[in-house]
Amino acid sequence: MIKNILILNGPNLNMLGSRENDIYGSDSLADIEQMCKKKSGKNGQAIDFRQSNSEGELVNWIQDALGKFDAIIINPAAYTHTSIAIHDALKAVQLPVIEVHLSNIYKRESFRHSSYISMIALGQICGLGKTGYKLALDALAELNK
Q: In terms of CB distance, is 70 or 134 closer to ligand DQA? A: 134
In sequence order, which residues have a C-beta less than 8 Å from that of residue 18 and are 6 or more positions away? none
Cα–Cα distances (Å) from 19 to 11, 24, 82, in that order, read 12, 7, 21
Q: Is 24 a catalytic residue?
A: yes
Q: Per rule CB under 6 A, is residue 103 in the interface with ligand DQA?
A: yes
Q: Does 77 bind ligand DQA (CB under 6 A)?
A: yes
Piece of 36-44, 71-79, 87-95, 136-144 that binds ligand DQA (CB under 6 A): 71-79
Q: Is 134 in the site for ligand DQA (CB under 6 A)?
A: no
Beta-carbon contacts of 34 under 8 Å, excluding residues fewer than 6 positions away, are none
Give the strand order in the sheet containing 46-51.
46-51, 4-9, 71-75, 97-101, 123-126
Q: Do residues 49 and 28 lie in contact, with contact meaning Cβ atoms separated by under 8 Å?
A: no
Residue 5 and residue 46 in contact, taking contact as beta carbons nearer than 8 Å: yes
Spot the catalytic one: 79, 87, 101, 133: 101
- Per CB under 6 A, does 97 bind ligand DQA? no
Residue 58 within binding range of ligand DQA, rule CB under 6 A: no
Q: Can you tell me which of 33, 49, 72, 101 binds ligand DQA, judged by CB under 6 A? A: 101
Which residues contact ligand DQA by CB under 6 A? 12, 75, 77-78, 80, 101-103, 105, 112
